[in-house]
Copies of this chain bind each other. A is one copy, B any other.
Amino acid sequence: MKWLPGQPVVDARTPALKARLERARARLGRAPKLRVFLVGEDPASHIYVEMKRKRGIALGVEVEVVRLSSGSTAPTLWSLITQANQDPSVDGILIQRPLPFAAEAPGAPGLQEWVSASKDVDAFHPFHLGRLGQGEPQITACTPAGIMALLDHYEIELEGRLACVVGRSPLVGQPMGLALLNRSATLIQCHRKTERLSALTRQADLLVVAAGSRGLITAQHVKPGAVVVDVGIHKKSQGGITGDVLADEVSKIAAQMTPVPGGVGPLTVHFLFENLVTLTEARDPISGVTRLYTERA
């Protein structure tokens, strides 16, 4: 069994990313800027934002964290996002999930559309999911983008192979399935309503688990010799984190497998900045309008 750690993939991609960010900086006359909105006191959210901030600074990105108290309201956040969408000094915007309130504000669309597609480094806007579904993504949601980079780095063949994604969330499972189809894998997409889950997962050459269900995938779910990617993150009561896959037993069956921690996680953070630079490169420095997508601010 070969482990597939994420950090070597990040390390291999970092020089090219730094070079692109340096060119963007030269063109803009300033560091590319990411504005992060962090609402409330959820400790995990604070840890994630701090990881993103540190990684951005190491890459030469200006990361501005806007902290709002848990007593703030959706209309306040919507108003601040709208300002950031229009602000030409802001290249990328990120809303740390989950929010402590329902994202409902007068005149506002669904939360996935609050951040302009042209600044949406998470690629959560339906425009980005749609372009991915059409096989021509501008940017892809960070976790699926990171997993595709990991599979390529470890030279895992996809064309014609049977891939199974467990999970269909709009932010991970759904774009993951579309990204695999774009690379000509055959796709089985399972979710909480799937009957006889193991009969399906056991057929897959590549199993990507993004179910958000600790230890869901056991040895009986896995085809011998399969490649297994575990997107789950769950706190263990004794400390540390674990995934959606029971690693002890599945590692005896699979040929290759991502660890938790140290698998997909570092790539997800990394792709925020690949997406940031892609969006920055697409922006016309004169008009501030992106070439690939325009929308009313």
A292 cross-chain contacts in B, Cβ below 8 A: 109
Neighbouring B residues of A187 by C-beta, 8 Å = 177, 187-189
What residues on B are CB-neighbors of A190 within 8 Å?
A: 186
Flag if A160 contacts B193 (CB, 8 Å).
yes
Chain B contacts for A129, CB-based, 8 A: 126, 129-130, 133-134
Q: Which of B125, B135, B170, B289 contacts A135 (CB 8 A)?
A: B170
Residues of B within 8 A of A188 (CB): 186-189
**A193 partner residues in chain B, CB cutoff 8 A:** 159-160, 184, 186
Total number of A residues with any Cβ neighbor in B under 8 Å: 42
Residue picked from A130, A131, A193, A295, most chain B C-beta under 10 Å: A130
Across the two chains, which residue of chain B brings its CB closest to A159?
B193
Residues 155-178 of A at the B interface (beta carbon under 8 Å): 159-162, 168, 170, 174-175, 177-178
Q: Which residue of B lies closest to A291 (CB)?
A: B109
Closest chain B CB from A23 CB (angstroms): 24
The copy count of this chain in the complex is 2
A191 to B194, CA, bound (A): 22
Chain B residue nearest to A163 (CB atoms) is B189
Shortest Cβ distance from A161 into B: residue: B195
0/1 string, A9-48, CB within 8 A of B gives 1: 0000000000000000000000000000000000000000
Known A-B contacts A189-B189, A193-B186, A195-B186; A130 and B135 likewise in contact (beta carbons under 8 Å): no
Q: For A295, list chain B residues within 8 Å (CB).
A: 294-296
A129 CA / B160 CA spacing, docked (Å): 24
Taking a contact as CB atoms closer than 8 A, the residue among B125, B181, B189, B293 that contacts A109 in the complex is B293
Interface string of A117-149 (1 = CB under 8 A from B): 000000001111111011110000000000000
Shortest distance between the CB of A99 and any CB in chain B (Å) = 17
Interface positions of A (Cβ within 8 A of B): 109-110, 112, 125-131, 133-136, 159-162, 168, 170, 174-175, 177-178, 181, 184, 186-191, 193-195, 200, 289, 292-296
Contact A133 to B133, CB < 8 A, known contacts A186-B200, A195-B186: yes
Establish whether residues B195 and A191, one from each chain, have CB atoms under 8 Å apart when the complex forms: no
**Is A186 a contact partner of B181 (Cβ separation < 8 A)?**
no
Additional 6 contacts, C-beta under 8 A, given A130-B130, A130-B131: A134-B170, A160-B193, A184-B193, A294-B295, A295-B296, A296-B296
> In the bound complex, do residue B181 and residue A191 qualify as a contact, i.e. CB atoms below 8 Å apart?
yes
The chain B residue sitting closest to A199, CB to CB, is B203
Question: Which residue of B109, B110, B161, B174 is within 8 Å of A133 (Cβ)?
Answer: B174
Instruction: Say how far A97's CB is from chain B's closest CB, in angstroms.
Output: 14
The contact sample of 18 A-B pairs, CB cut-off 8 A, is: A109-B293, A110-B134, A126-B130, A126-B133, A129-B134, A130-B130, A133-B133, A133-B174, A133-B175, A159-B193, A161-B195, A168-B181, A177-B187, A184-B191, A184-B193, A186-B189, A187-B188, A189-B189
